[in-house]
Amino acid sequence: MAVKKNILAIIGSASENSANLQLVEFIRDVTKHHLNLSVYNELKVEEQAPKIDVALNSDEIRYTIHCLLKQEDKLKNALTQVRNTITKLDIMLECAIEKENN
C-alpha cells in the first residue's frame, strides 16, 4: 500500500463557511483514501497557527523561485489566450447581432 501524502490546507477566508472551505472539505472527503488533508481555518488568532519548519537552503530557494517564475510565465500565456478568446467571442457576437438586425 502506498504511503499517504500529508497536506495542510490553510483557509484565510473571513466568512465561517466560505466557498474555499467548502471546496477544501470536498477535496478532503474525495481524497481521504489517498491523502491526509488537514484543514486549518482559524487565521484570526495568530497564536493558533501551526508551527511549520520552512528552513530551506539557498539551492532549494533558488529552485523554488525558478519553478514559480516558470509557472508565472505559463499563467501569463494562459491569460493571453483567454483574452484572445474573449476578443474573438466579442467580435462573433457583434457580427451575429449585426446579421440579425439586417
- Total domains, the chain: 2
pLDDT at 12: 75
Residue 24: which domain range?
A: 1-45
Note whether 32 and 72 are same-domain residues: no
Give the Cβ contact number of residue 24 at 10 Å.
19
67, amino acid identity: C
Q: What are the grid coordinates assigned to 62, written together? A: 533558488
pTM: 0.39
Residue-wise pLDDT tens digits, 32-44: 888 888 888 776 5
Q: What is the DSSP secondary-structure string of 21-66?
A: HHHHHHHHHHTTTTEEEEEE--TTSGGGSPP------HHHHHHHHH
Mean pLDDT (the chain, rounded) = 80
Share of the chain above pLDDT 70, in %: 82
In this structure, the answer to whether residues 38 and 74 fall within a common structural domain is no
- Domain presence at residue 37: yes
Residue 50 lies in a domain: no
